[in-house]
Amino acid sequence: MGGAGEGNQGALLSGGRRRIFSGIQPTGRKHLGNYIGAIRQYVTGQERADSIYCIVDLHAITVQHDPAELRARLYDTAALLLAAGLDPSRCILFRQSDLSEHSELCWLLTSVTAWGDLNRMHQWKQKRALLEDRRGGFVSAGLFNYPVLQAADVLAYRIDEVPVGDDQRQHIELIRETARRFNERFGDTFKIPELVVPEVGARIMDLQSPLSKMATTGGTELGTVYLTDQPDLIAKKFRSAVTDSEREVVKGPGKEGIGNLIEILAVVRETSVAEVESEFSGIGYGDFKAAVGGAVVAWLAPVQERYGELRADESALEAVLADGAERARAEAAPVLAEVRGKLGLGPPATRP
Ligand code: TYM
């Protein structure tokens, strides 16, 4: 993702440039998959487009949670995003629950969302199965409606691009469908956003179980590289990565473990898969795994250092989020007013 564009001087969105929105959950610890698939796109995005990033705490309560823990994880996530390079003078960073517009628009959009479409969502089916099997069976209606809230997040801002990892493809398609259906029934209102996934690293796999994506829930502990893991633990996780019984450092069928490591190194070194393959041709898996681990440790070191400093000051984080919320509301409120009007809710609009 490259691009031109001048810096947004930290004022309200400048207009005229492409618009980006993405959301990230403040649940669990964020991992290398989140960083490579999504967060790094947010950072490059703010350079070339008007960018709005949201920590989606309302999504996080769709599964059982501890309230104090949620707040702590929210600060973790805010500090991590800033440490990774989000700059509040160049983008809007805010907490979803600070804006009632998101939950209201979610409800309004449920009227143009088909129950059957929600019931087909892979993530719903997987998470529901996991909860029914492992956690005593409580599955909230919020989890079912999760993609509608995600649609509200995006559609409230007339967005061009939604940068996400590959696992969000189906949710973004549903957002597009929701926007189209609303526009058809009530007149042109929403912009149809485009999905943006990175060419390399859109789906980082669990290092121990390379047929499954790296994930906070359902992944293996040794196969999930958390962004706040100590360097020696990160190196150990890479050294123990599951590979295959061949010897060649190339991508290919049956070589998902090696392919995953090749992608990770290509991203970290900002090079191509082919370059990594040719550099490591003839080199043993052990040395290759050590090289990837070392490169990831060095790549994350400055983020980890800044994270420690930023996380220590919760009131500074609150100030960033409060400012972001105010700027986000200025964008979302007029869209919501238009939607209410189109649906025939509230008193008729008065014209000056
Ligand atoms: P979350 O917090 O689960 O994931 C945040 C981002 O990380 C990406 N991701 C991955 N990318 C590559 N490899 C992986 N193994 C991997 N695991 C996760 C996800 O694709 C995501 O981009 N539903 C969203 C949150 C959300 C949202 C939105 C996103 C709520 N509203 C509006 C975009 C627009 C989610 O999965 O968050």
pLDDT tens sequence across 223-270 = 999 999 999 999 999 999 999 999 999 999 999 999 999 999 999 999
Tell me, what's the pLDDT at 12? Answer: 46
Determine the average pLDDT of the residues in 296-305.
Answer: 98
Residue 9 has pLDDT above 80, yes or no: no
Q: Among residues of the chain, what percentage have pLDDT more than 90? A: 90
pLDDT tens sequence across 121-163 = 999 999 999 888 875 689 999 999 999 999 999 999 999 999 9
Pocket test for ligand 1, best of 41, 167, 208, 217 (most atoms within 8 A of CB): 167
Tell me, what's the pLDDT at 134? Answer: 73
**165 CA distance to ligand 1 centroid (A)?**
6
Mean pLDDT taken over the chain: 94
Determine the average pLDDT of the residues in 259-286.
Answer: 97
The Cα–Cα gap between 38 and 196 comes to: 10
**Orientation angle between helical segments 122-134 and 169-186, nearest 10 degrees:** 120
pLDDT tens sequence across 36-45 = 999 999 999 9
Pick from 236, 239, 241, 211: nearest CA to 223: 241
The Cα–Cα gap between 42 and 303 comes to: 15
Nearest 5 degrees, angle CA 13-CA 350-CA 337? 40
Determine the average pLDDT of the residues in 183-200.
Answer: 98
Tell me, what's the pLDDT at 291? Answer: 98
Does the Cβ of 153 fall within 6 Å of ligand 1? yes
Beta bridge partners of 163: 196
pLDDT tens sequence across 49-91 = 999 999 999 999 999 999 999 999 999 999 999 999 999 999 9
Tell me, what's the pLDDT at 352? Answer: 56
The Cα–Cα gap between 270 and 293 comes to: 16
Q: Is the distance from CB of 282 to CB of 232 less than 8 angstroms?
A: no
CA 284 to chain centre: 34
Pocket test for ligand 1, best of 27, 30, 34, 92 (most atoms within 8 A of CB): 34
Tell me, what's the pLDDT at 8? Answer: 38
Q: Please report the domains of the chain, with CATH numbers, ordered by start residue.
A: 6-202+313-342 (3.40.50.620), 231-309 (1.10.240.10)
Tell me, what's the pLDDT at 14? Answer: 60
Amino acid residing at 145: N
Atom of ligand 1 nearest to the CA of 27: 2
Residue 3 has pLDDT above 50, yes or no: no
The Cα–Cα gap between 92 and 330 comes to: 11
Tell me, what's the pLDDT at 137? Answer: 85
Q: Pick the residue with more confidence: 293 or 3? A: 293
pTM of the model: 0.94
pLDDT tens sequence across 159-180 = 999 999 999 999 999 999 999 9
pLDDT confidence of 15, banded at 50, 70, 90? Answer: low
